[in-house]
Amino acid sequence: MNKIQLMNVDKAYGKDNPIIENLNLDIGEGSFTVLLGPSGCGKSTTLRMIAGLEKESKGDVYIDGKSMKTVEPGDRDIAMVFQNYALYPTMTVRGNIEFGLANNKIHKAERDRRIKEIGDVVGLTEFMSRKPQALSGGQRQRVALARAMVKKPSVFLMDEPLSNLDAKLRSQLRTELIELHHRLKTTFVYVTHDQVEAMSMGTDIVLMKDGKIMQHGKPVEIYNNPKNVFTAQFIGTPPMNIINIKNIENIKNYENACYLGFRPEHAKLYESPPEYDGGLNLSGVVVTHEMLGSEILYRLDTEYGRVNVKIFDLGQILEGKATIVIPEQKIYYFDDRQNRIYF
Ligand SMILES: Nc1ncnc2c1ncn2[C@@H]1O[C@H](COP(=O)(O)OP(=O)(O)O)[C@@H](O)[C@H]1O
Ligand SMILES: [Mg+2]
């Protein structure tokens, strides 16, 4: 069932500044949906329209099948956490969390029960009487999450809530957010430009570019079945290798294929050319290799440009000339508009 729907939504700031045109998006009940895309593509604008903080220029936002046209943000049964969360410095952790309940008429006993419950959920029980300045960055962010969640909203909106934290803390809070979602079973809509965050946390990913949805699907679908070059290259590190094959004669060519792609992790490397088995063989020269622990990342120059290859066999490091082999079933083809061609 859909929890949130955007139907034919346009958004422009001022007259000649269309940001979003004809956006149609269904967000499933109980999903952890991630709006992903480069900076400026309209993720925050979309989230703010769901929250009611920004008004759509055209079209409608529905929550639980009900049009939100005349529903104020405070009446939408949602909570939101931003990147730059502001805690009240003079209030304790408990006070800050309780503030999330401020406008609701909830009795003292229920109030205390909820604050304790949410404090446990985000691991703040022993810090309840501290002030924000006596907390680490991660703990402060947990207070911000707790303050939003204590209302028990039916939709939880987050806009890059982890991007001010260091890498280790970010990865820890990622895991905690996944657990939180399992426990609460609330619909989460989460904005990020970080594909690793999107892939690791999302049950569903909405990849956006220039105010448009490039692909909406499960993380594994988006990785295995990108519908266009943009999606293919946005997901995965390093990105999918793309070769323009329009004018190349000696690569197996399909009628309207213009680009060919393969992921660094799907290529194999050989010191000398192996027997041809129907895939794509490219000859290259190793430019650099990086030992990343569980894998080696090679960069090679080929006659079709620079190519990344990830090798998981750490036994031998190749240098100089090498042959890159990509199995036929791991090759993706795209047309001149960079849309996937299926054979
Ligand atoms: N209040 C505003 N007034 C004018 N332009 C805005 C405003 N808010 C956002 N924009 C523009 O809208 C586009 C999308 O912004 P935003 O939704 O914040 O992108 P994202 O969150 O994906 O980085 C950007 O080009 C941004 O400059
Ligand atoms: Mg943003």
pLDDT digits (tens, 9 = 90+) for 241-263: 999 987 676 666 667 889 999 99
260 and 190 together in one domain? no
182 and 261 together in one domain? no
106 and 158 together in one domain? yes
159 and 175 together in one domain? yes
285 and 159 together in one domain? no
Burial class (CB in 10 A: 0-12, 13-18, 19+), 95: middle
Q: Is the CB of 323 under 6 A from ligand 1?
A: no
pLDDT band at 108 (very low <50, low <70, confident <90, very high): confident
Count of domains for the chain: 2
70 and 188 together in one domain? yes
Query: What's the Cα-to-Cα distance from 52 to each of 20, 170, 217, 306, rounded to whole Å?
Result: 16, 28, 25, 46
Spatial separation of the C-alpha atoms in residues 288 and 297, rounded to whole Å: 8
92 and 222 together in one domain? yes
Q: Is the CB of 207 under 6 A from ligand 1?
A: no
Boundary (domain end) residue, out of 233, 259, 280: 233
Closest ligand 1 atom, residue 38 Cα: 22
Q: Is the CB of 43 under 6 A from ligand 1?
A: yes
According to DSSP, the β-strands at 296-302 and 280-291 are antiparallel
Distance 221 CA to ligand 1 centre (A): 28
Give the range of the structural domain holding residue 80, as residue numbers without chain letter.
2-233
Whose CA is closest to 332, among 263, 248, 256? 263
160 and 265 together in one domain? no
pLDDT, tens digit, for every residue of 282-306?
A: 999 999 999 999 999 999 999 999 9
Distance 19 CA to ligand 1 centre (A): 7
Assess contact for 43 and 50: CB atoms under 8 A: no
CATH number for the domain that contains residue 265:
2.40.50.140
Spatial separation of the C-alpha atoms in residues 188 and 201, rounded to whole Å: 10
User: Running DSSP on this structure, what letter comes out for residue 100?
Assistant: T
38 and 172 together in one domain? yes
3-state secondary structure of 111: helix
Task: For 198, list phi and psi in degrees, rounded to 5.
Answer: -65, -45
167 and 293 together in one domain? no
210 and 282 together in one domain? no
Query: Which pTM does this prediction carry?
Result: 0.92
Q: Is the CB of 44 under 6 A from ligand 1?
A: yes
Q: Is the CB of 39 under 6 A from ligand 1?
A: yes
Boundary (domain end) residue, out of 182, 215, 233: 233
CATH number for the domain that contains residue 30:
3.40.50.300
Spatial separation of the C-alpha atoms in residues 289 and 236, rounded to whole Å: 18
Among the ranges given (179-183, 220-224, 249-253, 337-341), the one the predictor scored with the smallest mean pLDDT: 249-253
Q: Is the CB of 284 under 6 A from ligand 1?
A: no
Distance 53 CA to ligand 2 centre (A): 14
